[in-house]
Amino acid sequence: MTQNTIEGILKPLMHDIPKNLPFSFIVEELQSASPAIGRLFGSFSIYIGQKIVLVLRQKTPADDDNGVWIATTAEHHESLRKELPSMRDIAIFGPGPTGWQILPEESDSFENDVNHACRLILKGDLRIGKIPKPKKKSSPISKKTSAKLKVKETKKPAKKITKAATKSR
């Protein structure tokens, strides 16, 4: 995915802040890095350059996975958790570590942890952020599907057009 592709999809946050953007204080925290916003899973994704760094999620009715999702990898969970004590796995992704962690909205240290995560992002901390994989081109239709889509041939032979038939048109 090229920079141009990402820029074509995303909107710079400072120019067009959506009215329904949750946790808008994050915009102020990341302002110097020229963040951009996209949509992901019905939430707002925050990009710095080509990297997705955060997802802001505030669904109603509220659930355990509302908060700020952090793009990271399992190898960084332990070290990040030391700095962001409320960070945990995202429940809707099921058991086991994933490439995403959450700072839950209901945590007492939510704003402090989110502000600290933003400072880490601004410092270029390599534990936060991922360059999304390019979307795969849609595969050609399989032979089986293609056969289903073909128009069934009729058993009647096509009528021959005679000279007489063309003259009457």
pLDDT in tens, 73-113: 999 999 999 999 999 999 999 998 899 999 999 999 999 99
115: alpha, beta or left? (left if phi > 0; alpha if psi -120 to 50): alpha
Percent of the chain with pLDDT over 70: 71
Domain assignment present for residue 49? The answer is: yes
Q: Which of 122, 121, 132, 80 is nearest to 102 (CA)?
A: 80
Both structure tokens of 106 = 């209901």
3-class state of residue 89 by DSSP: strand
**pTM summary value:** 0.72
Q: Which of 68, 58, 57 is nearest to 101 (CA)?
A: 68
Domain assignment present for residue 129? The answer is: no
pLDDT higher at 164 or 129: 129
Number of domains composing the chain? 1
Domain assignment present for residue 54? The answer is: yes
* Structure-token match 């048109």, residue found: 169
Q: Quick one: CA dihedral 67, 70, 75, 80, positive or negative?
A: negative
Q: Which domain holds residue 56?
A: 3-122
Mean pLDDT of 27-31: 91
Phi, psi at 42, each rounded to 5°:
75, 15
Residue 104: its H or E element: strand 100-104
Domain assignment present for residue 157? The answer is: no
With bands split at pLDDT 50, 70 and 90, how would you rate the model's confidence at 18? confident
Both structure tokens of 22 = 């949750």
Q: Has residue 5 got a pLDDT over 50?
A: no
Domain assignment present for residue 139? The answer is: no
Q: Quick one: CA dihedral 133, 20, 63, 126, positive or negative?
A: positive
pLDDT, residue 147, reads 53
Name 89's bridge partners: 101
Contact by Cβ (8 Å): 102, 69: yes
